[in-house]
Amino acid sequence: MKLAATAQDHLTVHTVPVPDPGDLIARLPHPTALAWIRHGDGIVGWGEAARITLPATPAPFPADRFTAAARALRHLFDTADVHDPLALPGTGPVAFGSFGFDPTTTDSVLIVPRRVLGRRDGTAWLTTIGDTAEPPTPATPLRTPTRLHWTDGALPEHAWKHAVATAVDRIRHGHLGKVVLARDLTAHADTPIDTRVLLHRLARRYPACYTFSCDGLVGATPELLIRRTGDHIESLVLAGTTARGADTTDDHTRAARLFTSAKDREEHRYAADMVRDALTPLCHDLTIPDEPTLLTLPNLTHLASPVHGRLTDHHTVLDVVAALHPTPAVCGTPTTTALDLIRELEGMNRGRYAGPTGWIDARGDGEWGIALRCADIHGTRARLFAGCGIVADSDPAAELAEANTKFRVMQDALHS
């Protein structure tokens, strides 16, 4: 565990109400963007007051990195001099974070920005860490990605289908109930990719998703892992997916087929049962519906189960994240067996794909999603990810088609 050299031992934090800033993403002054936006509301940040990087966690203790992160943030925030008359979720000091999917990797990071601009339920605010009289950060013009060319990731299509077939065979022989296998693709541009351009396009096309950016990881996830507001928590279980239809009739047919699909119902049940088991010890009141509903997005339809609960103690949002990650929706079940099979078959390090991403404030409130429909941006390179839940009835060709559909979110964001 370490703080960046730029971190201050003692933070001075000022939050003030401001007039409605309009498009939050448009206020980001440069490509090093931090963001969490849904339906236009949320928070964006820039600058860096502190950075917490997290070491790999030994396999028997997967939750230790979340505990270590919470401890480091608590020290940072408890010693801060905070002036926050609003005291709303997301006001005062905030850390944006993204954690690696696999606890044995060193991909996890938390960043406390020097500036946070936010809006919630008609109230807007600006949080400044350090000198409030410091001149605004000069804005740089947006740069649209140009002349993209694509290369395969760790596994070409035929090899990934073989991996799916291997997983199906293991499942049918009783080794596990479900595993989620992911693919990656790489896009190369002529000039450095500006994350703000991607954020604009994603937020406009997928307003009901959570558009996020943290340390180069950019995406629009439909999956809310956890939201904490005081003792109230919310989650959304998504598992079971179909592409949208070519017309209204086809769309309704696909949705009905998904809703009655034994394969997709089984996949969803694994995820919902795990969330129930993980949250029950933390809550004195927990509600998960017996039947999933359909969540319709511009490109996909999912089986969805909304979750609501009341925490028994003062657990922070990171405590709940630690209890939930990784869910069967992104890993499989049993967790340890599925994670071992992912390491064996995917042929790659997922990095922060399918890991928790979001924000936490000094009160322990926050919102965290699962980093899906995303790309990891490094200069002129974008690494895209897509995954599919594999169960006994999975067909490798159908799973490849689903993964390719999921890739299109970020492919379209890069192209236009």
| Catalytic residue (choose from 48, 223, 266, 367) | 223
Report DSSP letters for 320-345, one per residue: HHHHHPSPTTTSEESHHHHHHHHHHH
Residue 32 DSSP one-character state: S
Q: Distance (Å, rounded) from C-alpha 200 to C-alpha 371?
A: 17
Q: What is the β-pairing status of strands 81-83 and 12-17?
A: parallel
> Can you count the helices (H) and strands (E) in the chain?
8, 24
Q: Distance (Å, rounded) from C-alpha 188 to C-alpha 209?
A: 26
State the Cα angle at 186 between 24 and 30, rounded to 5°. 25
Q: Distance (Å, rounded) from C-alpha 66 to C-alpha 103?
A: 10
CA 57 to chain centre: 20
Is the Cβ–Cβ distance between 91 and 23 less than 8 Å? no
CA 144 to chain centre: 24
Q: Distance (Å, rounded) from C-alpha 415 to C-alpha 272?
A: 35
Q: Distance (Å, rounded) from C-alpha 20 to C-alpha 40?
A: 11
263 is catalytic: no
Question: SS3 sequence, 80-103?
Answer: CEEECCCCCCCCCCEEEEECCCCC
Q: Distance (Å, rounded) from C-alpha 222 to C-alpha 228?
A: 17
Is the Cβ–Cβ distance between 23 and 42 less than 8 Å? no
Burial letters for 239-278: b for 16+ Cβ neighbours within 10 Å, e otherwise? bbbbbbeeeeeebeebbeebbebebbbbbbbbbbebbbeb
- φ, ψ at 281 (rounded to 5°): -65, -20
346 is catalytic: no
| Catalytic residue (choose from 48, 178, 344, 402) | 178
Report DSSP letters for 208-269, one per residue: TSEEEEETTEEEEES-EEEEEETTEEEEEEEEEEEEPPSSHHHHHHHHHHHHH-HHHHHHHH
- φ, ψ at 306 (rounded to 5°): -75, 145
Cite the active site residues: 178, 223
